[in-house]
């Protein structure tokens, strides 16, 4: 009996190594690399942020920009920790840690999309449009969540058909059910792209100001990049073995944060150039709906 107690004590004192798989290792390396991309982009755009954001007063737009800019460091940082984890202690569970990381990822994406919504609303000035922009993504998310949790479609648990030990749910594994969230995001961006093109060619077809060009071009590029990334995420979630699925954890958050920040910086830079190289009369020609776009989108 004493020898059993000593064995139990040793198990509790010493960590147990996690399983090593080629897919798991590739997913870990890729997510660690995306964290490095996020840090690199932050430092090369820090000067632009200090020039165009830091001296501005705090508004709702600046708040959601700050969330989309800085919260990814915590969300992707948690993914980074989970990816580098090589051992666990008996009795330990990583479920709550993973859930918290997922929540942060979702908030980061919502913040970046919130900046896009403010830009589209500023270009049209319609409360009905704003209502649609707020309600439609909620419907997409709820429907995707309900479908993804339906066992008739996929097994709702993140299990794998191959025999891989997963003590405490600490393995860096993802579930194929995430494909519905990527599909909902792809649909949402496709609808916004069509809406943006309609606004561009119906209301501002003759607009030639640099501010409008920057606004529409960067927004369309943003949505196209998200759609391409969502398409790749769907393929990488469904096609390879399940140990490779977690490779899609970080890219969505990183690309949302990077593109949302760069669009804002480009808009502010375009506004600054317009103020320097145009007269007061020229500035009045680059107004959206009778009011400057900068008062809505740039006031950060």
Q: Considering only the top CATH level, what class is 2-277+285-297?
A: mainly alpha
Q: Per the confidence metrics, is the pTM higher than 0.85?
A: no
Taking the CA atoms of the chain, what radius of gyration do you get in angstroms? 23
Whole-angstrom Cα distance, residue 82 to residue 166? 13
**Contact assessment for residue 35 and residue 79, using Cβ atoms and an 8 Å cutoff:** yes
- Extended strands (E) in the chain: 16-17, 87-88
Q: Please tell me whether residue 87 adopts helix, strand or coil conformation.
A: strand
- pLDDT recorded at residue 249: 85
- pLDDT recorded at residue 211: 74
Q: Please tell me whether residue 291 adopts helix, strand or coil conformation.
A: strand
End-to-end CA distance of the chain: 68
- pLDDT recorded at residue 13: 47
Q: What is the pLDDT along the chain (300 residues), one digit of tens a residue?
A: 444 343 344 434 445 445 556 778 888 888 889 999 999 999 999 999 998 888 888 888 889 999 999 999 999 998 888 877 766 656 667 778 888 888 899 899 999 999 888 888 887 777 888 888 888 888 888 887 777 666 545 544 444 455 566 566 677 777 788 888 898 899 999 999 998 888 888 877 766 577 777 888 888 899 999 999 999 989 988 888 888 888 888 899 999 999 999 888 888 887 777 665 554 444 444 444 444 444 444 454
Cβ neighbours, 10 Å, residue 57: 7
- pLDDT recorded at residue 87: 60
**Structure-block tokens of residue 188:** 């949402």
Domain ranges of the chain: 2-277+285-297
Q: Which residues fall within 8 angstroms of residue 116, CB to CB, at 6 or more apart?
A: 192, 219, 222, 223, 260
């Amino acid at each position: 009996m004493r020898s059993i107690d000593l064995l139990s004590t040793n198990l509790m004192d010493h960590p147990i190594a996690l399983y090593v798989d080629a897919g798991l290792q590739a997913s870990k390396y890729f997510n660690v690399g995306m964290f490095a991309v996020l840090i690199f982009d932050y430092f090369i755009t820090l000067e632009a942020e200090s020039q165009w954001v830091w001296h501005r007063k705090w508004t709702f737009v600046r708040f959601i920009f700050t969330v989309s800019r800085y919260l990814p460091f915590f969300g992707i940082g948690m993914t980074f920790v989970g990816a580098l984890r090589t051992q666990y202690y008996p009795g330990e569970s990583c479920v709550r840690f993973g859930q918290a990381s997922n929540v942060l990822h979702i908030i980061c994406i919502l913040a970046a999309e919130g900046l896009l919504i403010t830009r589209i609303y500023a270009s049209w000035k319609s409360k009905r449009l704003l209502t649609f922009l707020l309600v439609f993504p909620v419907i997409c998310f709820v429907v995707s969540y309900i479908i993804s949790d339906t066992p008739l479609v996929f097994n709702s648990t993140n299990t794998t058909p191959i025999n891989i030990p997963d003590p405490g749910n600490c393995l860096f594994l993802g579930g194929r059910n995430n494909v519905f969230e990527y599909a909902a995001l792809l649909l949402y961006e496709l609808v916004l792209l069509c809406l943006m093109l309609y606004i561009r060619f119906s209301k501002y077809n003759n607009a030639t100001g640099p501010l409008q060009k920057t606004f529409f071009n960067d927004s369309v590029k943003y949505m196209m990049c998200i759609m391409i990334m969502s398409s790749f995420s769907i393929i990488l979630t469904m096609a390879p073995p399940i140990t490779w699925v977690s490779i899609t954890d970080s890219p969505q958050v990183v690309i949302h944060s990077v593109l949302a920040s760069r669009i804002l910086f480009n808009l502010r830079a375009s506004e600054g150039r317009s103020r320097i190289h145009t007269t007061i009369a020229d500035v009045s020609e680059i107004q959206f709906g009778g009011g400057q776009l900068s008062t809505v989108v740039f006031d950060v």
